[in-house]
Every structure is written in structure tokens, then in C-alpha cells.
Structure 1
């Protein structure tokens, strides 16, 4: 089994392959011209849900319609009211998520149309789905997904770009912006490695870390919560900046580390005010920014791009941090922490 580092380092090639093969990967959806969609609903859990939140603002911008991310179990049991002008998408990277599989079953049982994005075309969800969109990368063996999460973001963004294109000039401009990120990804990985080498040792003792983002990096903050919890096995939270400012900040601890994921966008002034408040009240305030930095604890990625594209590369430092910090604590990620969990709960099929 390959480790997390292998898949992080593979992301430039994975991105390039998805970009080159986007028409083939998305052909199931692109060939369906029968519906003029008024909104998009994405069903996903875990890292797939985080990826959907990361892509959500860009998708809405390109399509010019609302995009919603919903928990499949909650919707299937309490809110399943299909609309003919809604594009339904289910995401299960590994293809074994029970709740997402059940969602697809229920939609198809009432003659609804739903497109399933998965990294394994032989998985249970792929076998039952009538409309499959492959993730466009090799199956990720490591259960704590990194490349699969990133590939999901790119696939969703390209889906919106291909469906929403209005004129060739704007389409090419948007495509070139994504291509520029793919080209610069090796530099991003190297910069993230340097930052992690400096910062990860604090995770030997830190008890709680809070990730704060906005726009597309809200999904990145959520992924920070998921990955650090899964791999380093300490308390981690992922919050949208305004969400954190309306209540959760009151429960801060002097020993907390707060990591901001800053795409240098519309809410940057709000972030600066929150950072000013937190300074001196918590152990560390750290910035992962798509700009320049002047403190060693911070990481400046400095890749000029639209803030809504930032999730394509701003999770890399967090994934590397999860990998390195867990290794420092000698946590073997290739061995299940609780092997009896899935047999008891049937969380995955």
C-alpha cells in the first residue's frame, strides 16, 4: 500500500491527466442535453463532502445557479423531494460509502437521474449507478485520501466549466487559469514541504487545532478537520470565518493552534480582524495564504489566481502536515485504528 506522501506527490500528474481527458471523463453528463438545470445538489460525506464544499463557489460562479452540498443519509431519510430541473451528483471516491450508495438507490428507484463520481468503476456504487463519472486517476489505496480529494475538486470544477461555458474566449481564459495551477503544483508541494518541516514538530504536544477558511477554502478547512482528526488523532475543527466568529471563538483555549487558509479574496479583511483578536489569546495563529508572508510560522504560496480556484492547491500543506505529524507520533496509517468499526456500523459496504 502506498502512503499519503506518494499520492500527494502524484497530484501534478493526476491533475494533468484529468485535464487532458476531461471530455472523456465527463462524457456521460456532457452528452445529456435534455435538461436546463436550475440548481445543483451534491450528495457526499467525509473528504468527498469537503471536496464538494471546496468546489461549490467556483461551480456556482461558472454555472450561474445555486449549488448545494447535502449529507446523503439526512436527505434520503427526511428531505428526498426530487426536482426535474436539478442536477443531482453523488460522490464516493472509494465507492463503498453506505449512505451515498443508499442515496443513489433511492433516487434511481423513483426514476430520478443522478450522476455518480467515483474512483473505482468496479465498486458497489459504480455497479448500481446508471450514470458514472470516473475520477480519472488510479485507485487510491490509502484510506486517508489526499489525491482523490484533490481530483474530486478538479473534476467538479471542470464539470461546471464544461457545462457553463458561454463563449470560447471566457472558456479558454478559465481553462488557462487551471492549467497554470497544474504547471505550478510541483513548486507548491516543495514550498509546503519546507513549511511542514518547520511547523510539524508542535503537533507532538498540541491538543487542538482549528482551521478557518472562507469561500472555497471553507472546504479546505473542513478537510483539515477531517485529516488531522483521522491521522494525528487529536481534536481538530474546520470552520468558515463568520461561523467561527459567531460563537465557537468563545470556547477557545490558550493552548489552541488556529490555522487560517487565506485565498486572498473577498473576506480577507474579516480574517485580519479575527487574527488580531486571537493574537495573544491562543498558542499560535498560523497563516497558509496565497500571498506573501513575513513570519516563519506562516506559508505564502503566492500563486496569482482567482480565489475560487485556490482549493486546487491550498490543501496540499494540510495533507502534508497530517502525514508528517502522524509519522512523528509513530501512528501507522496503513493499519486501521478501529477494525471493528465498519463491521458493526456498516458505514462502508
Structure 2
């Protein structure tokens, strides 16, 4: 029986736990850079899920490393970024390691005499041939279409790189270090229940979701990256129009397009933005019957919103908030009859020269 995308969703806790257990080995080259030279800025350059993972990890990295962390699409960095100095670390991200855009960002860094780090799941891939250092994310292959475990593994890899480096540089003490690791472990432990609850919610709302012609996903803070990832995967799997908005930006124009046929998912973790998200959802529930929230289960009965017993550590919510949406985009695409393993345009990367294997 062929492996389905859902199998990789279920596999995520095992992959993430293994990464946590071997975090020092996985992040060694990253931490060595900081131990051997001054780094005052990191540029994370990637495309698609790699870019989204960087957006989700950015604020935790800044918090622990106490330096500026910028996230740019790989092509934008290569083509337009001109403000660089010798204390800038350029990180090119590509799960397959074959993205020409990510490799070109590494090449640019090398040409300007900057330290470069390739982040990929594939040892010996294109990006590792060019980067001066590497971080191999042991997520394993995904052969069922859209990335799932590769995304969460990349987010966690950046969390662990920041944590191990901050610990090595004495920017967090032993107690803080262990507390963060415990928070990550408990977040990972919440994933199986999140999968089950999302399955249950989808079954209740299946007929309603199958009528959706378009979809909007909105998040804030580090979960704007989660929203970007969810939107991308609905596009890749169900293959219908999806828009993604940062919560506040949703209020500056896009809200005018909402009507009774609109389908919206708001990601609503604790923290700055939650009250605004609750209020925005309340407003749109008067305009459409299809405005939903993904949030922590507080024990109140609720047949409409996706309430999950998340661990909800303030820094690590992207690892768990993406999970119910992964279940939804898989279930919806499968019920729509989309063959997710089949590439819709197999000649695309060859025509655009965007992957090495097609060069």
C-alpha cells in the first residue's frame, strides 16, 4: 500500500523527538560558527515551506541569540539585497537541497566573503556542495506530495540551533536551557491528540468544507509563518485559490472582499494578537457561516471552532498549530479526489530551471 501524506503527518512526533535527542550533533556546525566568529545578523533565505519555516522560527532565534534575524525569499536576497557586512551569516534553506534559488543565495554569500550555512534534509545535495557549513535536518524523504514533516522539522531545527548556541555562549543558563527543552518535548507530545481532534472536527464539517471555492488563512506573530504554510499546502493539495494575511493586515483592505461564501481560518494562540483575532472572527461570523478559529481547548463545548488541547508554550506554538491544518488539507484534497502524489505540471521545474535535477 502506497504511503500517503497523512502517514507523514502522523510520523512527525517521532521525527521531532529524535531531533531533540540529537540536537547537539545536528546543530554543531551552526554553533561552531558563533563560537569562532562574531555574528551580528542572520539572513534566512528560502522558498516555499523553507521560507515559511524561517518566518515561524525568526522571533525565537532573535530572542535567544540577541541579534537581528531577517527572513527573505532566496531569489529576493540574491537579486536585491545589498546591505551586507562580514558579520552577516547567510543561511540558505532547501529541504531537497536542490533549489537553485537557495543555492544562488549561498553563492552570493560566498562571493562576498560571508559565512554561509546550508540547511537541508539531504546530505550530499546541491546546496551542501556550495555552503561553507551545513545543518542536516533528519526529516527523511516525503514521497506523497506536499511537505509536512519536513516543515515542522525545519522549524524545530532552527529552534534547536538557537537554543544550543545560546547555551554554548552562556546567553541562557542551565535552568533556562532545560526549561526550553522541556517546553519543546511537551509541545511534541501534544501532536498526536491534535491529529485526532482535527480528524474528528473534519468529519463533522466535511460536507461544508467540500463546498468551499476559495479559502483565507490568517495568523500573527510567529504563526503568520504557520498561516503561510497552511495556505501554501491548501493550494498544493486541494488546488483552489487561497489567500493568506497577517492578522492586522487583513483589516487594511482585504476584509472588503468577505461575503457569505467566504471560508476563513484564524490561528489564535495566546499572546499579543489574540483579542484582536477573537474580535475579528466575531465580526465575520455575522457575515459568513464559515469563519473558524484554531485555538487551545479551554473546556467549553464548541461545535464550530477547532479546539485542540495544545501545550501552547509561548515560543513553540508553530510546531503544533500547523498540525490540525495539515490534517484538513490532506482530508479535503483526498475527498476532492486530488491525486496528491501526481505532479500537476511535471515539466515546470525543467522549463523554469528552478531545481538542479532539471538543469
Q: Shorter-chain TM-score: what band?
A: over 0.9
Whether 1:312 and 2:319 are equivalent positions in the alignment is yes
Structure-1 residue corresponding to 2:60: 58
Aligned partner of 2:281 in structure 1 is 275
Structure 2 matches for 1:110-121, cutoff 5 A? Answer: 110-121=112-123
Contact persistence 1:196–1:317 (CA under 8 A): no
Distance 1:327 1:304 in 2: 29
Q: C-alpha distance in 2, partners of 1:288/1:68?
A: 27
For each residue in 1:246-286, what CA deviation from the matched residue of structure 2 results, as whole angstroms up to 9, or x when unmatched? 11111223201110111121111111221122122123110
Contact persistence 1:224–1:237 (CA under 8 A): no
Q: Which moved more, 1:101-110 or 1:289-298?
A: 289-298
How much is the aligned-residue C-alpha RMSD, in angstroms? 1.6
Query: 1:85 is matched with which residue: 87, 96, 106?
Result: 87
Question: Which secondary structure does the structure 2 equivalent of 1:297 belong to?
Answer: coil
**Equivalent residues, number:** 349
- Most deviating of 241-250 and 63-72: 63-72
Aligned to 2:341: 334
Alignment of 1:77-156 (within 5 A): 77-156=79-158
Unaligned runs of 5+ in 2: none
How far apart are the structure 2 equivalents of 1:98 and 1:283?
43
Distance 1:259 1:157 in 2: 26
Give the Å deviation of 1:308. 2.5
Partner of 2:13: 12
Superposition pairs of residues 172-251 of structure 1, within 5 angstroms: 172-251=178-257
In the TM superposition, what is the alpha-carbon distance from 1:208 to its structure 2 partner?
A: 1.1
Q: List structure 1 runs of 4+ shifted beyond 6 angstroms.
A: none
Do 2:198 and 2:324's aligned partners in 1 also have CA atoms closer than 8 Å?
A: yes
Q: Would you say the 8 A contact 1:88–1:114 is kept in 2?
A: yes
- SS at structure 1 position matched to 2:42: strand
Match of 2:303 among 282, 288, 296: 296
What secondary structure is seen at the aligned counterpart in 1 of 2:119? strand
After TM superposition, the structure 1 stretch with the greater mean CA deviation from structure 2, 30-39 or 216-225, is 30-39
- Superposition pairs for residues 26-65 of structure 1, below 5 Å? 26-32=27-33, 33-65=35-67
TM-score computed with the length of structure 1 as normaliser: 0.95
1:252 is aligned to 258
Quick one: distance in 1 between partners of 2:59 and 2:301? 29
Native 8 Å contact 1:178 1:309 kept in 2? yes
Q: Which moved more, 1:218-227 or 1:60-69?
A: 60-69
On the 8 A contact 1:224/1:236 being kept in 2, the answer is: no
Decide whether aligned partners of structure 1 residues 269 and 129 sit closer, same or farther in structure 2, where only a CA change above 3 A counts.
same
Deviations 1:136-155 (A, max 9, x none): 22222234100000000100
User: CA-to-partner distance for each residue in 1:324-349, whole Å, 9 max, x for gaps?
Assistant: 11111111011111112111111222
> Residue 73 of structure 2 is aligned with which of 71, 74, 84?
71
- Which secondary structure state, in structure 1, belongs to the residue aligned with residue 267 of structure 2? strand
Return the TM-score normalized by structure 2: 0.93
Shift of the alpha carbon at 1:305? 3.1
**2:271 is aligned with 1:265:** yes
How far apart are the structure 2 equivalents of 1:189 and 1:279?
Answer: 25
Counterpart CA distance in 1 for 2:190 and 2:162 is: 22
In the aligned structure 2, how far is the partner of 1:50 from the partner of 1:119?
A: 16
Q: State the secondary structure of the residue aligned to 2:281.
A: helix
SS at match of 1:269: helix
Q: Partner of 1:31: helix, strand, or coil?
A: helix
Distance 1:178 1:320 in 2: 21
CA contact (8 A) 1:44 1:92 kept: yes
